[in-house]
A and B are shown apart, each in its own frame.
Chain A
Amino acid sequence: MRSFILRRLLQTIVVLFVLSLALRAIMDAMPGNLVEMMITSRPGVKPEDVSRLRKQYGLDDSFPVAYAKWVRMIVVDRDLGYSMYYKQPVSQVLGPRLAASVKLMGISFLVSLAIAIPLGIYVALRQYSIADYLTNAFAFAGISIPSFWLGLMMMYLFSVRLHWLPPDKMHTPGDESLGDLLQHLILPSLVLCVQEIATWVRYMRASMLEVIQEDYVRTARAKGVSPGRVVWKHALRNALIPIITLVALSIPGVLSGAIITESIFSWPGMGQLLYKSVVNSDTPVAMISFLLIAVVTLLSNLLADVLYAVADPRIRLT
């Protein structure tokens, strides 16, 4: 197991190197660099201004030189760079937005799992019951309803009509209290939860239904094992194996944010940041953001493999 993890970590470094090269190449190949965007709407910009700005922003460097400088800055100087779009160091741009995304996405993720997994088990054990039909209807609706529509409807109901909750943002200006944060969290996390519960409940139900029809479950029942023990000891552990993998692979989503929900609720998370960094040619922010998500994705994959082996004794990692 240890050598497996070590080997995978080394592979991760290689993948990150290749990915960073590809990312940089894609960002450089995109039309309209930062200087071109700056000068488009400015009258009176002269050719000497353009050459000065290109030099200052390192746009005259060849691809290998620019990439080498970037790697040196990260590895040797331990500096993530400076965003000329936000006029802030990349670390200061990313930090608060990562925290905001983790708060919103993390809470939605945990609440969704806490509701969806028991619900999925419950309805799988009562297939074709009213509860099963209702849950399926909810799941289909949750998957089908667009998040922007649901968000606006919730905002209309809870903020405009009932005045119970603030319509958007993470804080009321001047109020940094936990209570204020929780009030602001309710609507966006509710929108995310509806979609996530809908997805997870279907996974859990399908996995459980598959397992309870297995021979070993039938054998356990035939041997007179109590129904509770059959479910908890024999069925659930096996039904959770694919869910563990899916949960581990969903972790990067906590960091990458949800652009539509963030945009509707003015939530200052990673989704909006990623979008704006690409649209505005903010290469330093885009590079670090995508690499960060890549690191978490690779580590989540590794975690999924390890958990898979832990949950299923038939699997041995070598």
Chain B
Amino acid sequence: MRMSPRTPRRALAVLALAAIVGLPCVAARLLRAADEADTLRITIQQEPDSLHPLLMDMAAATEISGDNSRPGPLQATLCLRGDDWVLRPYIAAELPSLANGQWKILEEGGRMQTTWHLRPEAKWSDGTPITADDFIFAYQVIMDNRVVGVVTRDQERRIETMTAEGADRKTLVITWKEPFAYADTGHACLPRHIEEPVYSKDPASYHKTDIADRLVGCGPYVLKKWNRSESIVLERNPNYWGEMAKIQRIIYSFTSDTNTIVANILSGTLDAVSPTGMTFEAGLALKADPPPGFTTYFTPGLVWEHIDFNLENPWLADKRVRQALTYGIDREKMVKVFFEGQQPVADGWLPPKHYAHHPNLKKYAYDPAKANALLDEAGWKKGADGWRVNAAGERFKLIIRTTAQNSVREQIEQYIQSNWKKLGVELAIENQEAKVFFGETVKKRKFEHLAMFAWLFGPQADGETNWTMKNIPTEANGWTGQNYGGFKNAEIDRIDNQVPKTLAEAERVKLLHQEQELWLEELPAIPLYFRCDVSAAREGLKEWRPTGTDTGVTWNCQRWSLMR
């Protein structure tokens, strides 16, 4: 075939046309790629309810914004606990302590005072300095009965006065009515110069104003846009007073379906999956078949899965029965089978990473012989049909309840059912929809025998709300408190009430060790396992350090960097 003289000209024309059309596309793509390198795309299973530290109620809000004591992209806090759970100053220059004189006992066993010196460089995203007045204003809002949406005032109700000192008003002095061990864990702060006019106008509608969109914060990022139900875009805060954020933009998108999250990872539209709401099964699936360039993180956490006994039931009031039932579950095998060993057996109620965890606790290792002996001793004898009965001829049949459609819990129930069958104990599974289970059955202590659920503890958990008698929910106390099993033990009650008033950490550790030993002997609940926080991120994402606590993975977001 001969090429005509006009062919090269035609070819050149086609090439020129392709260049005209194609170059801008290539340029745009290159620019986009450059832009994306400075953008981090995270998906999270929940959408926050609010970005305002006092009004938010969801873990997703804490992660995307930050709140009174847990920092995030929009909110710095007086102090913070990172992934090592150690308390460090953040807005504060240092933590108050008895040693540095910023924590003073005014009356032995009574009033005390803490002093916080705020960093001189700390400022809001609009450039206004953060002062003690911002903390005093937040305290005033929290304590105002007209303000709607503030749930708990556990810390604030212990405060007598809060004052600002110094010419720059950078010193915050707090006088406490009573000893409080956690007085060094921080206080809420709000931009007074922005929010006070809104609040003063009508405190009752303060929660309805657009302050909830949190346009002025003090963290490393500012809110750029919130597309409700879809995404939140955060931009680097140019006025941030600490280490400047490395990534220009963080985009949070909301995806509730786990399969869709995986599809997003595989199609390359994501850089990280938040631990908030990510299921353990999804984590195992990602680990088993990892998307190229992604790492799955299993971070040991503070979520304690357990079974509460109804201790008002005469069968379960006998601690030999409770011990026998615990000896009768092979929990080591359980965590291997269901969690590939990623979630450890809980020996007690405090996780190994907690500052007061007792390392040498009595272990309830699987021991069916001991379980059978204890049940025999408690008067539950095996009948001819293999099931146990008591002297009154009642068959030992227990009812367990948990949240329906939670496949992990349902499988664990069946596993326990088969374990206990070998002991001659029948277990009937009667699960309920989460709203009914938590709203009625557990909270109002309506479960017959057993309730399986989890507690998310904080790093300073001390058991006061879980195991003291004053925290048994009743109609008279408005169903407050979390001692759902109705546990009553005078010594544990004394210790757990004493811990929050004991200022020295070493003393608290001693008390809590004593408490854990007693608790394991009494066994008001069956400790099952500690859950992990599961997240996933591109291998090039540096400093992605989930905490395993209620502090969001964003606690150090200014240090994140992404290499694609």
Contacts and interface: CB of A to CB of B under 8 A. Distances in A.
Interface of A: 30-33, 36-47, 49-54, 56-57, 82, 84-89, 92, 96-97, 100, 152, 155-156, 159-160, 163, 166-171, 173-174, 263-266, 268, 272, 279, 281
Given A45-B152, A272-B256, 7 more contacts: A31-B436, A32-B438, A32-B440, A40-B438, A47-B476, A50-B478, A167-B269
B425 to A, nearest CB: 29
Interface in B419-471: 434-436, 438-440, 442-443, 456, 458, 464-466
Given A49-B152, A87-B50, A169 B438 contact: no
A85 B49 contact: yes
Contact of B151 (A47, A49, A85, A155): A49
Interface in B201-223: 207-208, 212
Interface in B452-499: 456, 458, 464-466, 476-480, 482
B407 interface: no
Interface stretch (B226-234, B341-349, B534-542, B555-563): B226-234
**B212, B260, B465 — which one has the most chain A CB atoms within 10 A of its CB?**
B260
Contacts of A268: 228-230
A44 B149 contact: no
Contacts of A37: 435, 438-439
- Which size bracket describes the interface of B in this complex? 35 or more
Contacts, number: 151
Contacts of A30: 435
A170 B254 CA distance: 11
Nearest to A269: B229
B255 interface: yes
A266 B233 CA distance: 17
Contacts of A168: 255, 260, 263-264
Given A38-B151, A163-B267, A173-B230, A49 B439 contact: no
Contacts of A160: 263, 266-267
B267 A263 contact: no
A45 B253 contact: no
27 contacts: A32-B440, A36-B439, A37-B435, A40-B439, A42-B151, A42-B152, A44-B154, A46-B157, A47-B477, A49-B151, A86-B49, A87-B49, A87-B56, A87-B149, A87-B207, A100-B229, A160-B266, A166-B267, A166-B269, A167-B264, A169-B255, A173-B231, A264-B260, A266-B230, A266-B254, A268-B230, A272-B256
**A53, A85, A100 — which one has the most chain B CB atoms within 10 A of its CB?**
A53
Contacts of A84: 148-149
A30 to B, nearest CB: 7
B224 to A, nearest CB: 9
Interface of B: 41, 49-50, 52, 55-57, 145, 148-149, 151-155, 157, 207-208, 212, 225, 227-231, 233, 251, 253-257, 259-260, 263-264, 266-269, 434-436, 438-440, 442-443, 456, 458, 464-466, 476-480, 482
Contacts of B57: 38
B154 A171 contact: no
Contacts of B477: 47
B145 to A, nearest CB: 6
Contacts of B269: 166-167
Contacts of A97: 229
A44 B468 CA distance: 12
A108 B434 CA distance: 34
B480 A46 contact: yes
Contacts of B464: 43
**B149, B257, B269 — which one has the most chain A CB atoms within 10 A of its CB?**
B257
**A36, A44, A46, A163 — which one has the most chain B CB atoms within 10 A of its CB?**
A44
Contacts of A52: 145
A155 B260 contact: yes
A35 to B, nearest CB: 9
A170 B438 CA distance: 34
A96 B263 contact: no
Contacts of B253: 169, 173, 266
Nearest to A162: B267
Nearest to B267: A159
Contact of A41 (B228, B233, B255, B456): B456
Nearest to B476: A47
Contacts of B212: 87
Contacts of A152: 259, 263
Contacts of B465: 43-44
Contacts of A32: 435-436, 438-440, 443
B133 to A, nearest CB: 26
